[in-house]
Amino acid sequence: MISEPHFEEDVVALRVYAFVSQIVWPGTRRPRSARQALELWQASAVEAARQAASDQATTAETALWVLEDSVHLVTTPAQRAAFDLQHLDGRVAFRIPVGRWVNELPDAIDKLRPRRRRGTSAKAAS
């Protein structure tokens, strides 16, 4: 849970973190129960998402492409084609729809309601 105030950059960054923290690249072994520090590519993905949330150039079409050794923000069809030609070429990559997530934020944040703390009324009744 994100405490108030809710900043759009933090919400998008947290959502991307939740996604990239689960990625295990082919050929990499990682025990499910092992606590993992953020790798450089994961930290880069989280920071790129944070920047996209505040960037005026971000649109609903903006995607964050995550590769094992780099991350790329791509918005236009021309950028997508250039990215595909220059970086993919049969490589494993994940496409994260950060532009769509940024567009959904105002409605999602408005729907958040303050939550009552658990256990406070039960202790008072004892």
- Give tens-digit pLDDT for 81-126: 999 999 998 899 999 999 999 988 776 656 655 555 566 555 555 5
Residue 52 exposure: Cα atoms within 13 Å on the Cβ side: 33
**Which pLDDT value is given to residue 37?**
79
Residue 97 exposure: Cα atoms within 13 Å on the Cβ side: 7
Q: Mean pLDDT, to the nearest integer, of 22-43?
A: 81
Percent of the residues in the chain that have a pLDDT greater than 70, as a whole number: 77
Q: Mean pLDDT, to the nearest integer, of 28-44?
A: 80
pLDDT tier at 30, thresholds 50, 70, 90 = confident
**Which pLDDT value is given to residue 119?**
61
**Which pLDDT value is given to residue 1?**
44
**Which pLDDT value is given to residue 113?**
58
